Structure 1
Amino acid sequence: MLSINAIAQGLPRSMTLLATAEAENAPIILSGVLLTLVIIYFASKVGSEIAKRLDLPPVLGELVAGVLVGVSVLRLVIFPEGGLTAADSLVMSALQALNPLTPAAIDRIFISQSEVISVLAELGVIILLFEIGLESDLRQLKEVGVQAIAVAFVGVAVPFAAGTAGLMYFFHVAAIPAIFAGAALTATSIGITSKVLAELGQLKSKEGQIIVGAAVIDDVLGIIVLAVVASLAKTGEVDIQKVSILLVSAIAFLFGSVLLGGFFNKTFITLVDKLKTRGNIVIPAFIFAYFMAFLGNAIHLEAILGAFAAGLVLDETDARNELDELIKPVADLLVPIFFVTVGARADLSVLNPMIPENRSGLFIAIFLLLVAIAGKIVTGWVVFGQENINRLAIGIGMVPRGEVGLVFAGIGTASGAINKPLEVAIIIMVILTTFLAPPFLRIAFGKTAQNDAEG
Structure 2
Amino acid sequence: MFLTPLIPHPLSFLPPVSFLATAEAENAPIVLTGVLLSLVVIYLASKVGGEISKHLDFPPVLGELVAGVVVGVSALHLVVFPESGMQATDSVIMTVLQWINGLTPEAVSSIFQSQSEVISVLAELGVIILLFEIGLESDLRQLKEVGYQATIVACVGVAVPFAAGTAGLMMLFHVPAIPAIFAGAALTATSIGITSKVLSELGRLKSKEGQIIVGAAVIDDVLGIIVLAVIASLAKTGEIDVANVIYLIVSATAFLMGSILLGGIFNKTFVAIVEKLKTRGNIVIPAFIFAFFMAFLGNAIHLEAILGAFAAGLVLDETDARNELDELIKPIADLLVPIFFVTVGARADLGVLNPAIPENRAGLVIAVFLIAIAIAGKVVTGWAVVGQPGINRLAIGVGMVPRGEVGLVFAGIGSASGVLSKPLEAAIIIMVILTTFLAPPFLRIAFGKSPEPPAGESAPEPVAVAGEG
Query: Are 1:76 and 2:78 matched, yes or no?
Result: yes
> Contact between 1:128 and 1:191, CA under 8 Å: does it hold in 2?
yes
Amino acid at match of 1:271: I
Displacement of 1:417 in angstroms is 1.2
How far apart in 2 are the matches of 1:71 and 1:176? 29
Kindly state the Cα deviation for residue 416 of structure 1 after the two structures are TM-superposed.
Answer: 1.2
SS in 1 for 2:80: coil
CA distance in 2, matches of 1:251, 1:337: 30
Distance in 1, Cα, partners of 2:14 & 2:101: 28
The residue type equivalent to 1:154 in the other structure is V
Aligned equivalent of 2:103: 101
What is the Cα deviation at residue 101 of structure 1? 0.6
Does residue 1:358 correspond to 2:360, yes or no? yes
Post-superposition offset of 1:5:
7.4
Q: Secondary structure of the equivalent of 1:269?
A: helix
Residue number in structure 1 paired with 2:437: 435
Cα distance change, pair 264–5 in 1 and its aligned pair in 2 (3 A): closer
Matches within 5 A, 1:300-449: 300-449=302-451
Output the CA distance in 2 between the equivalents of 1:277 and 1:127. Answer: 23
Matches within 5 A, 1:53-202: 53-202=55-204
Show CA shifts across 1:192-249 (max 9, x none).
0000000000000000000000000000000000000011111111000011111110
Q: Which residue of 1 aligns with 2:460?
A: none
AA in 2 matched with 1:429: M
Pair 308,451 (structure 1): closer, same or farther in 2 beyond 3 Å: closer
The TM-score with structure 2 as length reference comes to 0.95
Confirm or deny: 8 A CA contact 2:11 2:17 kept in the other structure: no
Whichever residue aligns with residue 447 of structure 1, its letter is: K
- The letter of the residue matching 1:29 is V
- Taking structure 1 as reference, are residues 108 and 312 closer, same or farther at Cα in structure 2, changes over 3 Å only? same
How many angstroms apart in 2 are the aligned matches of 1:255 and 1:9? 48
Q: Could you say what the CA RMSD is over the residues aligned between the two structures, in angstroms? A: 1.3
The TM-score, its normalising length taken from structure 1, stands at 0.97
Do the aligned partners of 1:121 and 1:334 also contact (CA within 8 Å) in 2?
Answer: yes
1:275 aligned onto 2:273 = no
**C-alpha distance in 1, partners of 2:367/2:305?**
30
- How far apart, in 1, do the equivalents of 2:128 and 2:6 lie? 36
Describe the SS at the equivalent of 2:302.
coil
Tell me how far 1:449 sits from its aligned partner: 4.1
- Kindly provide the amino acid, as one letter, of the partner of residue 87 in structure 2: T
What is the CA deviation profile of residues 82-126 of structure 1, one whole-angstrom value per residue up to 9, with x for unaligned ones? 321110000001111110110000000000000000000000000
For the 8 Å contact 2:123–2:340, the answer to whether it is kept is yes
Amino acid at match of 2:449: K
Q: How many residues align?
A: 450
Q: Which runs of 5+ in 1 are unaligned?
A: none
Change (3 A) 1:11 1:177: farther
Structure 2 residue aligned with 1:223: 225
Deviation at residue 362 of structure 1 after TM alignment: 0.4
Gaps of 5+ in 2: 455-469
1:24-48 CA-partner distances (Å, limit 9, x unpaired): 0000000000000000000000000
Amino acid paired to 2:222: V
Question: Shift of the alpha carbon at 1:345?
Answer: 0.5
* Separation (CA, whole Å) in 2 of partners of 1:14 and 1:246: 43
Q: Tell me, in whole angstroms, the C-alpha distance in 1 between the residues paired with 2:21 and 2:227.
A: 41
Give me the whole-angstrom Cα distance separating, in 1, the residues matched to 2:373 and 2:80.
30
In 1, Cα distance between the equivalents of 2:87 and 2:110?
10
- Please give the alpha-carbon distance, in whole angstroms, between the structure 1 residues aligned to 2:14 and 2:397: 59
- Secondary structure (helix, strand or coil) at the match of 2:190 reads coil
* Deviation of the 1:133 alpha carbon: 0.1
Q: Equivalent residue for 1:288?
A: 290
Structure 1 residues 411-443: Cα deviation after superposition (integer angstroms, max 9, x where no partner): 011111111110000000000000000000000
Closer, same or farther in 2 for the Cα pair 1:267/1:423, shift >3 Å? same
**Separation of aligned partners in 1, 2:196 and 2:13:** 49
**Match of residue 297 from structure 1:** 299
8 Å Cα contact 1:155-1:376 kept in structure 2: yes
Deviation at 1:8, TM superposition (A): 5.6
Task: Note the alpha carbon deviations across 1:108-155, whole angstroms, 9 max, x for none.
Answer: 000000000000000000000000000000000000001000000000
Q: Secondary structure at the match of 1:101?
A: coil
- Which SS does the other structure have where 1:336 is aligned? helix
1:303-342 Cα offsets, whole Å, 9 max, x none, are: 0000000000000000000000000000000000000000
CA contact (8 A) 1:8 1:16 kept: no
Instruction: For 2:348 and 2:397, locate their aligned partners in 1 and report how far apart those are by CA, in whole Å.
Output: 24
Secondary structure, in 3 states, of the residue corresponding to 2:79?
Answer: coil
- Percent of pairs identical after alignment? 79
